[in-house]
Structure 1
């Protein structure tokens, strides 16, 4: 029996992510899209405390607006705890306290990080002792980003994004994020992408039959070269997100004008991620963007995946 289990309360932390590259294939018969992504875990974290309980309950606080986070059975962390309990045959429940710093519905995988931290915390609390592989396999049943929140670091995701291969990344990459208190629906962004591609617009890029990550992206990560990464980064969902939220284009233009090496919508948005040379450049850009009235965060990556922390 572990010390965490005896204490009756376990604290786990999982990171948010940025998709430094995201290619989207066409929709299959079930409506899902095959993707190819280069994920980077960044220093915006979700903290989850799991406490022994007879029932499955959750309370949510945050340094970001959490008013849109469900506190019922639909909460992804609660679903993760229930899934693990069913898998190991656990008869009791758990109370989860979640503290969020990843923007809600911001394209950075905050809900997936909650689920990853909940899986890890409950595994320790209940003494299940599942392997990392088993936890990632369970996590994939909850969403494509959950396995990566468990793994962390840098990885290439294929299939629906949950078939992960670790990618070598050297050095540190500094990002300035412009967040929004109005989230975006991931299904709506994918639907808008499909509409745009079907419109016959000459500006629409060809739909990849089998999406892949550009070799220059992996080369930039291996070399720890932010300038090379800036030139190779891309997000197929970005144009659809800009069609739904045109004001994001103004954010990107301002950041680029102020010295960011690249700016892209993170995942399905609406968070905009700017890659800069170093930490001091990030702080300078934050000052300008904040003065323009935008909410900003400075994060760096890659960082480790979900882990249990000492009480």
Structure 2
């Protein structure tokens, strides 16, 4: 099939992480049984808010042997593991939705604020999910899969930015180019550029765009974002060199309003194929980079 990756490599990787998180789930079960509840559903059905607060305080202060892992298999800190887990089983989003709510909740510390929010969510969710099987591992594993996919997407983007930065630094060292590779994103008219190259004469902005899937409305947004990033940079007098990593991108490269770009036609999951191609593409742009030194 034209060399395209048919297998859903992302799913395979995520399911491995989900299984890594199962021991935390099992330890949580052991914990609540020690508090007098036969299963998670029984805990969720607890109507005494003072009792819930007491149990949650014990939970957040307990020493768990296991931890949760993020979308690329890195362990979360203990406090983050406990917070993410309890919000995930309640079918909520700890960072995107609940973090702003927690920040506006009164309390002596972050744990007390989180407990207050959790109690409110418990009261809301309990009648919506009345069946025991909705709180057992198969159901929770599906929730984890969804949450970890979002985590993985964000982390993978950061991973490629770090890879490009590292290879640029190695390239400039190899060719003795006095160009700074910044470690921070640059914002320009609401556009974000992942990498900034600073020379004596000029700057280069490099947005790093990756995409695993091919079709649909998000593909159009992906293409639009690339064009907009280039346009905003050029309008403000910056040279823009986008880095696009996508297995099958429908955008017309000839229509990109920039002198140089890097397009690597590979699935972002295949780092072993991407790394050598990225090195070749960057090497081919040495003369362009040298102009800003």
TM-score between the two structures when normalised by the length of structure 2: 0.23
Q: Give the helix-richer structure, 1 or 2.
A: 2
- Which structure is higher in strand share? 1
Larger Rg: 2
Compare relative contact order (CA 8 Å, sep 6+) and give the higher one, 1 or 2. Answer: 1
